[in-house]
Amino acid sequence: VFANVVRAPEDPILGVTVAYNKDTSPIKLNLGVGAYRTEEGKPLILNVVRRAEQMLVNDQSRVKEYLPIIGLADFNKLSAKLIFGADSPAIQENRVTTVQGLSGTGSLRVGAEFLAKHYHQRTIYIPQPTWGNHPKIFTIAGLSVKTYRYYDPSTRGLHFQGLLEDLGSAPTGAIVLLHACAHNPTGVDPTLEQWEQIRKLMRSKGLLPFFDSAYQGFASGSLDADAQAVRIFVADGGECLAAQSYAKNMGLYGERVGALSIVCRTADVASKVESQLKLVIRPMYSNPPIHGASIVATILKDRDMFHEWTIELKAMADRIITMRQKLFDALSSRGTPGDWSHIIKQIGMFTFTGLNTEQVAFMTKEYHIYMTSDGRISMAGLSSKTVPHLADAIHAAVTR
Ligand code: LMR
């Protein structure tokens, strides 16, 4: 009965790892998926995460019962504080509802399903380009996806004018997906002044902000600085949605731990919204897993552990920044044609190199370097040892 099923293509990001795993070359390098690696090229479990896990194991009172539909209460509260700020009036006035989600993707999906059911505008504007999963998540939830200009290939920077024009001509009430920081894939963010202009424009048109916050603390090394864009919007008292992921900033990729917050105008509305979020979640996966959320809650609620986390987080962010400088220096010393200053200007996990599909294919074939076909490289996958190999490959690709 399934004979007519057509084979689907591999995922453009996760499929890169599939191809990488098949390669038997000893020099192969995976710069596809955004996953942090140490200087030795190994995945990293943060010390503070190990410590939290040990505490959880030792705690004899812990059980593995179902969590409530919306997840672990402590985790939800602490997650809202982390993104909106401990002194956020929206939290103090109980205008925020937060539900635990399956990392960033699951949280975005729950938000999208809620909007498709309960919000009057079904159109969502996403940046061009954006993370490859965004259009799929929103389309499958029943929203209609449109794009707004974001990146200007000629300057390798923000297309601010295009962004303002496109959002300015969006229909009243449309949803707008915004990357809270460290835009994926471009590594290009608006400045705080530009965020303020975006906020004014969006509020004047009644556009609904939906933030994807996958890199808080990873972009600048500061949790507060990386939440500024979200906080600017919440400070004006208007509505907003925010999806958080702990995949990158706590290295909890496979634990699938994240949160969706919806900021409302009143506490009464927030509690009604929460009741509807339960109806979205229950038939989808019933209730979320307990382990990852317990790790996060353990760390966020303990002052010492929180502090230890910020230090480890900053070390990861700093290592990525060092890799940017090393790659830039390596290309400069090779005299590679072109301006590569965007490598050090862009922020977050990724560099949007400007390399085209053919150049990427060449680097994979000849140098066993794996990256997404749009020319994005995960700087977090690079180490001092592998920088020369990557620089050789880029040099060969652009001088071919
Ligand atoms: C990425 O963009 O590489 C990450 O967010 C991982 C993913 O799920 O695509």
Q: Which domains does the chain have, with CATH numbers?
A: 14-45+317-399 (3.90.1150.10), 73-301 (3.40.640.10)
pLDDT at position 346: 94
- CA-13 nearest atom, ligand 1: 9
- Distance (Å) from CA 371 to ligand 1 centroid: 12
- Does 318 qualify as catalytic in the annotation? no
Question: What percentage of the chain reaches a pLDDT higher than 90?
Answer: 99
pLDDT band with cut points at 50, 70 and 90 for residue 217 = very high
pLDDT at position 324: 96
Question: Do 297 and 75 form a contact (C-beta atoms < 8 A)?
Answer: yes
Question: What percentage of the chain reaches a pLDDT higher than 70?
Answer: 100
Type of residue numbered 5: V
- Distance (Å) from CA 14 to ligand 1 centroid: 7
> Is the C-beta atom of 184 inside 6 A of ligand 1?
yes
Q: What is the mean pLDDT of residues 174-185?
A: 97
> Is the C-beta atom of 249 inside 6 A of ligand 1?
no
Pocket test for ligand 1, best of 133, 218, 351, 372 (most atoms within 8 A of CB): 133
- Distance (Å) from CA 265 to ligand 1 centroid: 33
Question: Do 243 and 302 form a contact (C-beta atoms < 8 A)?
Answer: no
The 10s digit of each residue's pLDDT in 36-85 is: 999 999 999 999 999 999 999 999 999 999 999 999 999 999 999 999 99
Helices and strands in the chain: count of H runs, count of E runs:
15, 13
Region label for 286, one of left (φ > 0), alpha (ψ between -120 and 50) or beta (otherwise): left
Q: What is the mean pLDDT of residues 123-146?
A: 98
Q: Which of 195, 248, 309, 374 is catalytic?
A: 248
Q: What one-character DSSP code corresponds to residue 156?
A: T
> Is the C-beta atom of 131 inside 6 A of ligand 1?
yes
pLDDT band with cut points at 50, 70 and 90 for residue 172 = very high
pLDDT at position 25: 97
The 10s digit of each residue's pLDDT in 233-277 is: 999 999 999 999 999 999 999 999 999 999 999 999 999 999 999
Q: What angle do CA 240, 246, 250 make, to 5 degrees?
A: 145
- Does 131 qualify as catalytic in the annotation? yes
The size of the chain, in residues, is 400
- ipTM of this complex: 0.92
Which residue matches tokens 């601010």? 160
The 10s digit of each residue's pLDDT in 15-33 is: 999 999 999 999 999 999 9
Find how far residue 218's CA is from the centre of its chain: 10
Question: Mean pLDDT, the chain, as a whole number?
Answer: 97
Task: Provide the pairing of β-strand 350-352 with 376-378.
Answer: antiparallel
Task: Provide the pairing of β-strand 157-158 with 151-152.
Answer: antiparallel
The 10s digit of each residue's pLDDT in 290-341 is: 999 999 999 999 999 999 999 999 999 999 999 999 999 999 999 999 999 9
Type of residue numbered 400: R
What are φ and ψ of residue 56, in 5° steps?
-65, -40
